[in-house]
Amino acid sequence: MIDWLKRNNQMNGMNVHFQNASYMESNEKADLIVKIGILCGLDNEFAVDTLKKDHQDLNPGGKIVASSSNIHMKTSDPLANFLLQNIGARRKDKLFPFKGWPLNYREKSTMIHLFEAAGFQDIRISTEADPKWLNRLSSEELYNVDVLPALTRGINHDGNPQILLKGNLYETGYNWIVVASK
C-alpha cells in the first residue's frame, strides 16, 4: 500500500509524504490527526489508549477527526453486519478464509466518554446522515465505494466506483463522525 501511495503522492496538487512507520512510536507533533476506520476495531480500553496517544501528539489547539461504526449499523443492516464480521476478503480475485472485521458498535454516549477519557475538549459528534454532510455530496459521491483499497492491494479494478443500492443507509447513519480539540 505504501508503495502505491508513494507512486501516486499528489493530492489536489499538494505533495503528500507517506512513511512506513509505527504510529504508536511516533514523537512528532501535528495540527490535525485523521483516524478513519481505526477506532471501530478497537475495544474501549485500547481505543482510549490510542486516543491518549493522539492527544499527546497534537499541538495545542490541534484537532482530531475520527469515525467509528455506530449501533445503527448493527441494528439496521444485519446482512452488512454479518458480512463484515464473518466473511472473507478478496485477494487476487480469489476468496480466502479470513476472520472478518470485528467491529465495536458504539452508542454516542460511549464515543463521548472515550474522547473525554483521552483528554479531548469541544467534542462534536454527528453521523454521515447529518444534513451538513449530505448537502455537500452529489448522489454519485454519496452512493459509491472508493476504489483506493483495491488499487493499493494490486487488485485489477476498472476504476469505476461500485454503486450501492439507495436505501435507508443514510437515515440514521452507520458511523459516528467525531471532531474534537486538544
Instruction: Label residue 140 by pLDDT band (50, 70, 90).
Output: low
Q: Is 75 a residue whose pLDDT tops 70?
A: yes
In a domain, 6, yes or no: no
Number of helices (H), then strands (E), belonging to the chain: the values are 9, 10
Q: Is 90 a residue whose pLDDT tops 50?
A: no
The answer to whether 181 touches 121, Cβ cutoff 8 Å, is yes
Q: Rounded to whole angstroms, what are the CA distances from 13 to 1, 38, 108, 117, 164? A: 21, 27, 36, 38, 29
Query: Which CATH number goes with the domain that contains 158?
Result: 3.40.50
CA 74 to chain centre: 16
In terms of residue numbers, what domain contains 140?
29-181
Mean pLDDT of 57-76: 87
The pTM (predicted TM-score) of the whole model is 0.65
In a domain, 16, yes or no: no
Instruction: Label residue 62 by pLDDT band (50, 70, 90).
Output: very high
In a domain, 15, yes or no: no
User: Considering its fold, how many domains does the chain have in total?
Assistant: 1
The answer to whether 117 touches 161, Cβ cutoff 8 Å, is no
